[in-house]
A and B are shown apart, each in its own frame.
Chain A
Amino acid sequence: MDGLSIRDLRVVFDGFVAVGGVDLDVSPGDVRFLIGPNGAGKTTLVDAVTGLVKASGSVRFGERELLGTEVHRIARLGVGRTFQTAAVFENLTVLQNLDIAAGTGRGAWTMIRRRRGIPENVQEALETIGLTGQLDQAAGTLAHGQKQWLEIGMLLVQDAKLLLLDEPVAGMSHDERDATGELIGKVSRDRTVVVIEHDMDFLRRFAQTVTVLHAGRVLSEGTVAQVQADPKVQEVYMGTKEA
């Protein structure tokens, strides 16, 4: 297992500093929650790590420098992400979605032939995310929560070792949140997980460590209790209501 190590990460959009010098270490096997008010730079940080936006500084996953690497190569290094709005292939079935996610290593000969049966890792992922019964259902017809789980399942078969989940429980019902939290716990046993989340209740229950971003910088870091006790955090983010 590898950890994530970010040094002096900066992202600037046309003069606007979205991320202004972030240092961040996520140790292997951690479940790190990234929180912060809107515009704090959380999603931008994930975008920079996955190669979607240009950034300066250094992002290392294990031994590999990710900055300057193409998006699909970063993914092949074992970095997987989900998106705020579930991004599954709506016209394809659950099985097809997972099979595509599992297939980056396939050769040309395998690609131009039909799939026979269900690959082993896809079957495992189906059981993990609990969508075995929806195998042949078009992904577009899944419930909102199921789509998010399918996305996580896609990361599993993709063999991602670092999962970056962007608001995985937004818009979910209470039961779905619990299930998602347990799913995150389950997959984090042999993976490093970073979660962007607004939901404080969810964070308290499932975060191992927390980093608070504010205006493109790290404001505070530590366990849930440490962060909650930090007066700087209470001032700018949690306010009196949350603390």
Chain B
Amino acid sequence: MKWRAAAGFALGAVVLFGVAPAVLSDFRLSLLAKYLCFALVAVGIGLAWGRGGLLTLGQGVFFGLGGYAMAMHLKLADAGEGNLPDFMELYGQLDALPWWWRPFANPVFALAATVLLPMLVALALGTLIFRRRVRGAYFAILSQALAAAMVILLIGQQGTTGGTNGLTDIEGFFGYDLDDPVNQRMVYFIIAACLLGLLALVRQLMHSRYGELLVAVRDSEERVRFLGYNPATVKLVAYVAAAGMAGLAGALFVPAVGIISPALIGIVPSIEFVIGVAIGGRATLLGPVLGAVAVAYAKTTLSERFPGAWIYLQGALFVIVIAVLPGGLASLARLLRRQPHGRLEHP
């Protein structure tokens, strides 16, 4: 089992670091970088939803927190010491930088915030919600409402957040010019490395005693409580971890795509993160990654030429995959191999 995992990671590394950069054009590679960011979010959802039963419909919030934290720093760096970011100059409502923008000028603070800020928000919300045993559909609705509230908040504060447009035209990435294809490649490699690293981390978590306990909480929260565990803590760990991954994904998305905006983090994108996970296989390690990349690829390819058809397809995927194949394509593969494993994986 161990050598198979090692072989899998080696294969993944070869594909991501060797094959993809060799065969894909710069443009395609930067698209793949974007898809891999979505895959990062998906890994976290796989952990929280697939293993923990926490259907989080608001991962966009954490993706956005990470993205905005990164974008704020890059905008400040682009503007240069003492200057306002371009959009603030444009709207002209402000004479000085708002106080909550200032710390993001510091690269260390901004980088830490991309992951820690989402984790803190998840910790606060999760503590309040799980402690009071709000769960299931109630949790899903609340997480979605959070996404709705966050988007409206961002749009409402146009002078300081860029409103509907978001933070755009990001040019530099810690001193590197993002227009230069070489630097775009570097961003891709960073993202690919983060994905592999996180996969290793999540794999360890899934196979650990904590991973078993998380499945137990998913299947029978009350029973776990009577064994002397507090299920709220168990769920909190998965939720906060997933939030951190989404935050990291958002942070990496910004240099890869050059923009972060409310349209990328609201209700609809948040639930789109979930469908990729469902298609790939919610409780597996690699299913969410492949599902997220496939959905993002299909969306780019189809929605450019047939926007209506893409939405029909997406709707149909939700209906068919979840109703007929709740284990995702991973369960199909397992069925074909007739492997009796997967107890952990089918809810």
Contacts and interface: CB of A to CB of B under 8 A. Distances in A.
Contacts of B208: 111-114
B285 to A, nearest CB: 15
Interface in B178-223: 204-205, 207-210, 212-213, 215-216, 219-220, 222-223
Interface stretch (A29-37, A54-62, A99-107): A99-107
Nearest to B207: A114
Interface stretch (B9-17, B75-83, B227-235): B227-235
Contacts of B212: 92, 96, 99-100, 115
A115 B211 CA distance: 11
Given A103-B213, A111-B210, A112-B205, A89 B219 contact: yes
A8 interface: no
A72 B343 contact: no
A138 interface: yes
Overall SS of chain B's interface: helix
A71 B225 contact: yes
A104 B209 contact: no
A219 to B, nearest CB: 28
A124 to B, nearest CB: 17
Contact of B209 (A89, A91, A111): A111
A214 interface: no
Interface string A65-102: 00000111101100011010001111111001001110
B3 interface: no
Interface string A9-23: 000000000000000
Nearest to B216: A89
B216 A92 contact: yes
Interface size class of B (residues with CB under 8 A): 20 to 34
B344 interface: yes
Given A112-B205, A115-B209, A138-B343, A89 B220 contact: yes
B346 interface: yes
A76 B228 contact: yes
A200 B228 CA distance: 32
A100 B230 CA distance: 13
B226 A100 contact: no
Contact of A87 (B220, B344, B346): B220
A79 to B, nearest CB: 9
A100 B204 contact: no
B227 A104 contact: yes
A225 to B, nearest CB: 34
A148 interface: no
Nearest to B209: A111
Contacts of A154: 227
Contacts of B229: 72, 104
Contacts, number: 83
B251 to A, nearest CB: 24
Nearest to A157: B227
Contacts of B343: 91-93, 138
Contact of B227 (A110, A111, A112, A158): A158
B40 to A, nearest CB: 20
From A96, A99, A154, name the one whose CB has the most chain B CB atoms within 10 angstroms.
A96
Given A81-B226, A92-B215, A112 B346 contact: no
B207 A100 contact: no
Given A71-B226, A110-B209, A114-B207, A100 B219 contact: no
A50 interface: yes
A71 B220 CA distance: 14
Contacts of B225: 71-72, 75
Contacts of B222: 87
A84 to B, nearest CB: 13
Contacts of A83: 223
B324 to A, nearest CB: 21
Contacts of A93: 343
B209 A103 contact: yes
Interface in A209-232: none
B181 to A, nearest CB: 40
A80 B209 contact: no
Nearest to A138: B343
B231 to A, nearest CB: 8
Contacts of A101: 227
Contacts of A99: 209, 212
A110 B213 CA distance: 12
Interface string A194-212: 0000000000000000000
Point out which of B220, B226, B346 has the most chain A C-beta atoms below 10 A from its C-beta: B226
B254 to A, nearest CB: 30
Given A75-B225, A91-B343, A92-B343, A114 B209 contact: yes
A90 B219 contact: yes
B340 to A, nearest CB: 9
Contacts of A73: 228
Residue of B215, B224, B227, B230 with most partner-chain A CB within 10 A: B227
7 contacts: A70-B230, A89-B223, A92-B215, A111-B208, A111-B209, A112-B204, A112-B205
Interface of B: 204-205, 207-210, 212-213, 215-216, 219-220, 222-231, 343-344, 346-347
10 closest pairs, A vs B, by CB?
A75-B228, A104-B228, A76-B228, A111-B210, A89-B216, A87-B223, A71-B225, A72-B230, A112-B208, A91-B343
